[in-house]
Structure 1
């Protein structure tokens, strides 16, 4: 499930220019729902994005919930992904396809249509946001309709809904971003254990 969510993030097409992009480094808790004709799954992940060093890491597991020893590191500078279980001390590597596009999975492209403004919450604690819709394609050529709601001030993602239409069937993916923190507090999340072979 981690791999599916991360591949979705990596598979969105890049844009030549953007309406807005979130911080180049940020961390968040990401709630993921994926529904297609054969299954419906939910998961909760820790997500750390490092656009400067062309990498991100997703930690979490569908069966164990948020507290887990499983994480997947996507390091485009090494062109390698690492699927790690720190408790079992196992690691598998896989080759990353394509190039890292700076924040391609979280930027709003310049041709997006504005749907907002919106507000989350109420009174003095409400969060001003803006909705956008745009079309995209996956690396496999599947058509995607994306609706993204982001914070109005700094374009931090709040909810991104993607409908994918392809020969393998249609799918709906919803990514909800919570507890977003700019920057990266702990860079050791990107450390590759010694038992991972390149």
Structure 2
């Protein structure tokens, strides 16, 4: 579930009807927390977003020497296929990817978002100027959501996003995604290579 929701923010050009959009290709670490009345879950993983080719990758079990770990899941919307790959055990399963790429992900801060004002992180010359917004949206299952997102003033790079979902199994839920070690562009195209055992 965390992997599916992990794409709340992600996708340099400004789309029609939006305030700003993140870069079309980037890599980052994401720290994710999900809480409702029944569950608390958290995860730290590598995230590679490739809006140009309509795909993204989520990887875990990484060590400090590698950005991509031994397990990774690739969602390829052009091929309508997903791949769950364990490079250590050489296991791979494929699954169908549903929907359209941009329909699956909220890639931009929408034009209807309300500004919560400018803010900054850090101090003096090293500070990072940011903008914060809130807006309402609808989850894939029809439940109402309130999103608060903070992005850099220059470049619309995501910093943190919090989504409150009203109702549903387990009651109201809170989902946060924090981004760090952000890298614009793709560090390595081979991240998306599908091994022969798939």
TM range (shorter): 0.7 to 0.9
Q: Which moved more, 1:65-74 or 1:153-162?
A: 65-74
CA contact (8 A) 1:51 1:103 kept: no
Pairing of 1:127-166 with structure 2 (within 5 A): 127-166=128-167
Deviation at 1:104, TM superposition (A): 3.5
Q: What do the CA deviations read for 1:18-49 (whole angstroms, capped 9, x no partner)?
A: 11001111111111111111121221111110
Structure 2 residues not aligned, in runs of 5+: 10-14
| 1:188 maps onto 2:190 in alignment | yes
1:103–1:151 CA distance, 2 compared to 1 (3 A):
farther
Q: Which moved more, 1:170-179 or 1:136-145?
A: 136-145
CA contact (8 A) 2:6 2:32 kept: no
Deviation at 1:102, TM superposition (A): 7.8
Structure 1 residues not aligned, in runs of 5+: none
TM-score, normalised via structure 1 length: 0.88
CA contact (8 A) 1:161 1:172 kept: yes
Task: State the alpha-carbon separation in 2 of the partners of residues 152 and 173 from structure 1.
Answer: 23
Which residue of structure 2 aligns with residue 8 of structure 1?
5
Pairing of 1:1-198 with structure 2 (within 5 A): 4-9=1-6, 17-61=17-61, 68-101=69-102, 104-168=105-169, 169-196=171-198
TM-score, normalised via structure 2 length: 0.88
Q: Which moved more, 1:66-75 or 1:174-183?
A: 66-75
